[in-house]
Amino acid sequence: MRKPIILFLAFLTGSLPALAQEVEEKSIDATINELFNPAAEYIFSVIFYPIITIKGVEVPFILLWLITGAIIFTFYLNFINIRGFGTAIDIIKGKYTHEGDPGEVTHFQALTAALSGTVGLGNIAGVAVAIATGGPGATFWMMLFGLFGMSSKFMECTLAVKFRDEHVDGTVSGGPMYYLRKGLAAKGQGRLGGFLAGFFAVMAIGASFGGGNMFQVNQAAQQFIVITGGQDTMLGQNTWVFGLIMAVLVGIVIIGGIKSIAKVTERIVPFMTAFYVLAAIVVIVTNIGQVPEAFATIVSGAISGEALGGGLIGTLITGMRRATFSNEAGVGSAAIAHSAVKTSEPVTEGFVASLEPFVDTVIVCTMTALVIVISGAYKGDNVADGIALTSNAFATVIDWFPFMLSIAVILFAFSTMISWSYYGVKAWSYIFGKSNFSVGLYKLIFCAFIVIGASASLQGVIDFSDGMLFAMSLPNILGCYILAPLVKKDMQSFLTRIKKGKIEVYD
């Protein structure tokens, strides 16, 4: 079993000849790290290439691109992220939805399917990484960027429904690949749209293997190992076994497509999010007297930048980076899931999608940050990375929580992976076609990367995941800039018709 797995992974990375002589000399985990980490570091260095240096801190262009887009969309849409909140809730309740609308899933199912791709280890482990590297102040910038990111989600998910392809069998295909190609073609920029769509699809495939897959299983494996005895155990030395088991379970679900995925996520995501938030509330309430001080620590750390990440600029960059990884606003990934919604009004899904960064970053990430800061687990020289830091923080109040967290982490990772497999399939199909062989090949490679992710080092996984995920924003935000007037027109029309009572209301 061991030899075929190593050879297959070597084949994927183009290192088969050099590796053949070493198959029997190294563990699978060590071999995976040797092959994967240099490639991950290179990808990260390209995507996060700095364009300026401020007080010794390198500022990557990609982060400025994301935050600028979010701010511009917020002002351009007249703060729809705030004033459209109530309308979004009404839409989720089905107030403006007709049973005969085209699409595959309900507004709520589309929201939970997209949330399952964002709410999870980005909130649990990602916040811990932000605090460990940028100090408590990094979470303030995470929350602020989450608010602005609501407008980016509104923009991209409205376009995803507006320009989706509706097939004769009732299924749909949508996302940035389609609104970049079709939307820009309608504006006489077909060549640019075709290039941007293709570039986005390639990056989305890579991101589905990285942030939507490897990061999830990596942190789930680490938490499971801690609970079952640590790194010195058989499983601790062979984490690929955990990855193999997860790959089989994920494979079983993703065979069924978006409807199967939606049925699973609409049950897992609300339950696990509620469980996690409830546990965080218990810790916070238990230490209620320390909450004002915790908030003060977060705010002062954001302003002064005295903590771990290179001053104010370093703290801000860390917060923005982890916020984007957590809620994916501006990246365009969630637009693929939202495009499957049942609606004849594209802008309705823009309202629904805008709730994602709020739930994901403003609520869940804030809960995690408060628990970590209150516990003081982030202090000292031996600060744990990722999920271990969050687990240690919860354990200061709930000693049995690390065991429950391991279950939650596995379920969060599972739901995220199956959602991202759908994103990846759509991007893959856009390039290679929708044949059973093509789709089956993608799913096989996706499951193989689950095994790789379980074995790879956290830093390598983060570098690869961030690199591929953030690269998606380059074509996506550019397309949103060009197509923004269409979204604003639809938004104003919808809100005007609501006020005039011209849209039928359903109880």
SS (H, E, C) 14-68: CCHHHHHCCCCCCCHHHHHHHHHHHHHHHHHHHHCCEEEEECCEEEEHHHHHHHH
Q: What is the pTM of this model?
A: 0.78
Q: What is the rounded distance in angstroms from the CA atom of residue 222 to the CA atom of residue 243?
A: 11
> What would the two tokens of residue 333 be?
């990934």
Give a yes or no: residue 503 inside a domain. no
Which pLDDT score is estimated for 313? 60
Helix (H), strand (E), coil (C) string for 150-189: HHHHHHHHHHHHHCCEECCCCCEECCHHHHHHHHHHHCCC
b/e 314-329 (16+ beta carbons within 10 angstroms → b): bbbbbbbbbbbbbbbb
* pLDDT at residue 309, as a whole number: 45
Residues of the domain holding 372: 49-483
Within-domain flag for 321: yes
Under DSSP, the state recorded for 341 is B
Closest to 453 measured CA to CA, from 465, 444, 441: 465
- Distance separating alpha carbons of residues 276 and 111, to the nearest angstrom: 18
Counting runs of H as helices and runs of E as strands, what totals does the chain give? Answer: 27, 4
Specify the amino acid at residue 296: A
Predicted pLDDT at 135:
76
Sign of the CA dihedral with 221 first, then 227, 233, and 234 last: negative
Q: What is the pLDDT of residue 116?
A: 60
How far from the centroid of its chain's Cα atoms is residue 383's Cα?
24
Q: Which residues of the chain have pLDDT under 50?
A: 1-2, 4-9, 11, 16, 19-24, 307-310, 382, 507
Give the integer Cα–Cα distance in Å for 213 and 192.
30
Q: What are phi and psi of 465, to 5 degrees?
A: -65, -50
Structural domains of the chain, count: 1
Could you count the other beta carbons within 10 Å of the beta carbon of residue 141?
Answer: 25
Phi and psi (nearest 5°) for 187?
Answer: -100, 10
The predicted structure's pLDDT at residue 103: 63
Within-domain flag for 365: yes
CA–CA separation, 421 and 452 (whole Å) = 16
Question: What was the pLDDT predicted at 308?
Answer: 45
Question: 361: domain CATH number?
Answer: 1.20.1740.10
- Partners of 165 in the β-ladder: 173
Q: What is the dihedral of CA 347, 348, 354, 355, to 10 degrees?
A: 180
- Residues 72, 152: Cα–Cα separation, whole Å: 9
Q: d(Cα 417, Cα 440) in Å, to the nearest integer?
A: 16
Answer whether 442's CB lies under 8 Å from 425's CB.
yes
State CA 408 to chain mean position distance: 17
